[in-house]
Amino acid sequence: MSVETQRESLLNAPALLFMSAVVLIAFWILFPRQPAFRDPANLSAKDALSVAYLRVLVQSDPGNAPLRLSFVQVLTEAGMTDEAVLAMEPLQNAPESGLTYEIRLAELKLALQQLYRHPPRDVEASLRRRIGELVPLLLRLADNDKESNQVVLLAEQFGEPSVVAETFEQLAGMQNETRQTKSRWLAFAAKQRLAAAQPRAAAQNFCRAFTFERIARKKTELAKACLGAYLQAGVDREALKAAMQILSAYSSSNADAQLLLLAADVAQPMGDRDHALVWLEQASAHLPADQRLAERVVRLQVSMGLLSEGLARAPMLRASLIPGSERQRLLAHLYDWNGQPDEALALWLSFARHKADEEAETRAFALAQAKPDNEAIVQLLEAVMSRRKLTTTEADAYVKAGLAVAQPSRVEKQLRRHAERFGNPPPILNALVEVLVLQGKPDAALTLYEDMPEIQDGRQRLALARLYEEAGNTQKSFQLLLRDIDSPPPASAEEYWLLLAKVSTQLGQDAYAGQAYEKALALRSNDVEILENLQRLALRHHDEKKSERLARYGWERLKRIEDLQRLMRFSWKRRNWDELDQWLEVAEKLPSAAQARDYWYFQSMRRMAHGEQSAARGALQEILKLQAADPEVTEAMIWLLLAYEKIDRVLLDSVVAPYRAQTASQSTVNPALAEALAAAEQGLGRPVQAAAWFLRSLSTRAGDFLWILALADNMEWAGCPAHANYARFQALEMFASRQNSRIEVKYPSRLAEYFFGSKYLPPKREGTEDAKKQEELQSIRDQWGFGGKLDNADYFALRREVERLELSQWKDFAKAVRNRNEREVERQLALISDHLKRQPAAASHPDMLPLSIDDVDRANRWLAGEPEPNPSDLATELDICRETLTKIREFPVNSEPAKR
């Protein structure tokens, strides 16, 4: 192919299009897609083509300011400073335009670039002067934060931060600038002050900037920066004032949480706890899940004494507690000081178990003992055992609590392990001895004592003496205690004297026991048990003076009703009735007197002595409420009730009822009570039951004329008329043989003695029915020779037999006996004897004494009529009647009766 043909083939249309595309792509790659004067950043200073391209353009159009500016920027970036200076000169005198900021910024960068090359001093000074002029100028020319920040970054490279800061502060002082611009410059100045390590000046600038700022977000940032700078500088009154002024611009709901925390950080060290607490609580409202903040609030509340307010956040803090942490200590204090011992104990106990801490151990121990919580005490002290030796108090508490919640063997095992770990400390060995004794192992305890150091002081001897006493070696314990009797251990004096008293009592050494109890009472003046032990010793030795002295001591110091009752008894024994009445008057005011038997005992006695039957009856009822079926009181109550004209049958039956099942028992009912029960059952219309008690009473009254007559009437009511008549015949024989003498039955002194005979009778008043009855009874007593005092049984029988003893035939018989008309007496007795042999239950003949109750009744009536026949005889009547008659017949009629 020829050359022309080849040229034509290269210059055809498709080839030209392809080459054009290659050239366009090359230019697109080599040159920017936008003009250089519009965006110089698109030119790469590393690209020689860009610099060359711009140089050509500037040379072609030297008056094009944007193009020259782009050329200067690229040269500066490429480090071609000298050429950049030459290129910059025409721009320095350029008129004000939209490129003024860019031109001055490029000049500033170029000056900084020259300064970095360390020029001569005169040049450096000139450069610095020019830079100082350019920075304020650029800040004034900046239209937004981005441009200002760009100037600030360049200024920071210029020199000392304090110098830059002063420049910004001066700019802020210009009158013709906007508030927003001043805020921005002050913020720049503050940052430079921080860089210059001048936080207080920075804080002041931030606060000034805060006052100029209008945008809420930036305002909050400036406020936080201000308070942060003050915290860095060290808080003072100025910082607190600034914090208060800043937060006054916010409401409680829109204040920033971090800002509130910074304000609290300022206020709290300055002692303004009120503001600090308010700000912390507001911050906590914004951050409800922040436990550290909640803990800080609680700590501040506790320090201010707001203990109850701190409890509100306690549950949240307890949700994630680390045992042994300071937060746990805070909560333990909070619950403890708020008077919630259960929660406080749980926290202190957990703290002490996980960490050795004296305060936690002390408070947990005190709270557990005060509760008391034995389980907590055991857990605490077992944790402490592994760290240190227990004190004596702790060891004693561990033994007491451990035995309450665990097996003694476990407590013993723990104490032995603790003793081995810490070299057998004496408090632990003593506690171990106590546990062994409580387990019933005194020998093992003594063996342990043998391994202890030599016993030298009184306290150790006391512990050993107690151990000997527990082991049953009382004599050895006594001998050991006597060694210190003149100087017992001061710290254990009470324990010493009580143990000596106990051991002495067991050995029968009453002198030592009395001395020991007296010493113990001097140390424990209100100890009732010691006082009672002294009373028992006085009673054992019949020392009534000492007993009365102790009773007075007990009453005057302790106001015990028991001691007052003892004083009553001593007054009664001396028959000092005025003193007894005084004691009773004192006792009436005591609530405890209602449960005091002796008080009611003497009250009934004195009320009866004053003729107050109803009061005496009430007092006896109170005794029976306290001590049902009391024999002495029952006897007195029966005779008192039977003395009334109208008997209270319901009350009398309730008094007698407890004894109805005891008629066969010889030990529970004494003869005096048997007489009263016989009279009571007869008064209740129960002659068969009364017959059994009458039989019991014959052990002392088989020769009592009046009692036998009352007994015979009861036999007749029980359905034994024949035996009743024989008993009456036996009574008449007794009366005739005694020549008008009466047996006086003697019983031990008892309450019923104050209720017998004439004491039943009301005061004698002339012309009254009561006076006539008294005269009638006295007349009968004179006729029949019943002189002296009548006891309860005889007085009861006399009242029952009034109608019989007033019959003329019976009076004649008494007169014959009194006048010793033996012929008439024998005649009457013979008539009765013959009548009983024929028909023992039949009615009496007119010429003989009326025997039966029916005979007496008909003898007292006019025109009584013929009696009904009664065929009853001894063989057909009740066995109890036969036993009773046999008992009566055993009495020696013809001999002088002995007084019982």
Q: What does each C-alpha distance from 495 to 3, 248, 452, 492, 503 come to in angstroms?
A: 142, 71, 22, 5, 12
User: pLDDT tens for residues 815-842?
Assistant: 999 888 989 999 999 999 998 888 888 8
Task: Indicate whether 3 pLDDT > 50.
Answer: no
Task: Indicate whether 385 pLDDT > 50.
Answer: yes
CB count in 10 Å sphere of residue 464 = 20
CB 264 within 8 A of CB 274: no
Cα angle for residues 581, 584, 590 (degrees, 5° grid)? 155
Q: Is pLDDT larger for residue 125 or for residue 390?
A: 390
331-340 contacts, C-beta under 8 A, 24 or more apart: 331/298, 332/360, 332/363, 333/302, 334/298, 334/302, 334/307, 334/310, 335/311, 336/363, 336/367, 337/302, 337/307, 338/307, 338/308, 338/310, 338/311
Task: Indicate whether 516 pLDDT > 60.
Answer: yes
- Ranges of H-type helices in 234-357: 237-247, 257-267, 273-286, 291-303, 307-310, 314-318, 326-337, 341-354
The pLDDT value given to residue 502: 93
Could you give the percent of the chain with pLDDT greater than 70? Answer: 85
CB 780 within 8 A of CB 806: yes
Name the least confident of 6-15, 460-469, 545-554, 585-594.
Answer: 6-15
The pLDDT value given to residue 165: 64
Query: Distance between CA atoms of 864 and 208, rounded to whole angstroms?
Result: 140
Of 73, 71, 158, 62, the residue nearest 110 (C-alpha): 73
The pLDDT value given to residue 769: 60
Q: For tokens 């001055």, what's the residue?
A: 104
Task: Indicate whether 38 pLDDT > 70.
Answer: no
pLDDT band at 48 (very low <50, low <70, confident <90, very high): low
Instruction: Please give the model's pTM, rounded to 2 decimal places.
Output: 0.53
The pLDDT value given to residue 893: 57
The pLDDT value given to residue 292: 87
Query: Distance between CA atoms of 897 and 728, rounded to whole angstroms?
Result: 18
Query: Distance between CA atoms of 211 and 60, rounded to whole angstroms?
Result: 53
Query: Distance between CA atoms of 525 and 507, rounded to whole angstroms?
Result: 25
Of 106, 159, 153, the residue nearest 132 (C-alpha): 159
Q: Is pLDDT larger for residue 589 or for residue 193?
A: 589
CB 404 within 8 A of CB 374: yes
pLDDT band at 639 (very low <50, low <70, confident <90, very high): very high
Question: Residue 75 has which token pair?
Answer: 């040269």
CB 804 within 8 A of CB 787: no
CA count, 13 A, side-chain hemisphere, 830: 6
Q: Is pLDDT larger for residue 665 or for residue 2?
A: 665
User: pLDDT tens for residues 241-258?
Assistant: 887 888 777 776 677 888
The pLDDT value given to residue 712: 94
pLDDT band at 6 (very low <50, low <70, confident <90, very high): very low
Q: What does each C-alpha distance from 539 to 498, 532, 560 come to in angstroms?
A: 20, 10, 19
Encode 275-292: b = buried (16+ Cβ within 10 Å), e = exposed. Answer: bbbbbbbbbbebeeebee
The whole-number average pLDDT for the span 268-295 is: 82
Q: For tokens 């006085």, what's the residue?
A: 538
Task: Indicate whether 677 pLDDT > 60.
Answer: yes
User: pLDDT tens for residues 295-325?
Assistant: 788 888 888 888 888 888 888 888 888 888 8
pLDDT band at 455 (very low <50, low <70, confident <90, very high): low
User: pLDDT tens for residues 837-857?
Assistant: 888 888 888 888 999 988 888
CB 343 within 8 A of CB 321: no
Q: What does each C-alpha distance from 522 to 167, 448, 519, 526, 530 come to in angstroms?
A: 93, 34, 5, 9, 10
The whole-number average pLDDT for the span 31-53 is: 51
CB 298 within 8 A of CB 330: yes
Q: Is pLDDT larger for residue 875 or for residue 899?
A: 875
pLDDT band at 179 (very low <50, low <70, confident <90, very high): confident
Task: Indicate whether 565 pLDDT > 70.
Answer: yes
Q: Is pLDDT larger for residue 71 or for residue 16?
A: 71
- How high is the mean pLDDT of the chain? 81
Name the least confident of 28-42, 55-69, 414-428.
Answer: 28-42
Q: What is the largest CA-CA distance in the chain?
A: 215
The whole-number average pLDDT for the span 290-295 is: 82
Of 454, 391, 447, the residue nearest 418 (C-alpha): 391
The pLDDT value given to residue 23: 52
The pLDDT value given to residue 444: 73
Question: Residue 50 has which token pair?
Answer: 């860009």
R_g over Cα of the chain: 62
Of 588, 538, 542, the residue nearest 568 (C-alpha): 588
pLDDT band at 870 (very low <50, low <70, confident <90, very high): confident
CA count, 13 A, side-chain hemisphere, 186: 28
Query: Distance between CA atoms of 113 and 293, rounded to whole angstroms?
Result: 51
Highest mean pLDDT among 412-426, 608-622, 765-779: 608-622
747 phi-psi bin (left φ>0, alpha ψ -120 to 50, beta other): beta
Phi first, then psi, for residue 851 (nearest 5°) are -100, -60
The pLDDT value given to residue 240: 80
95 phi-psi bin (left φ>0, alpha ψ -120 to 50, beta other): beta
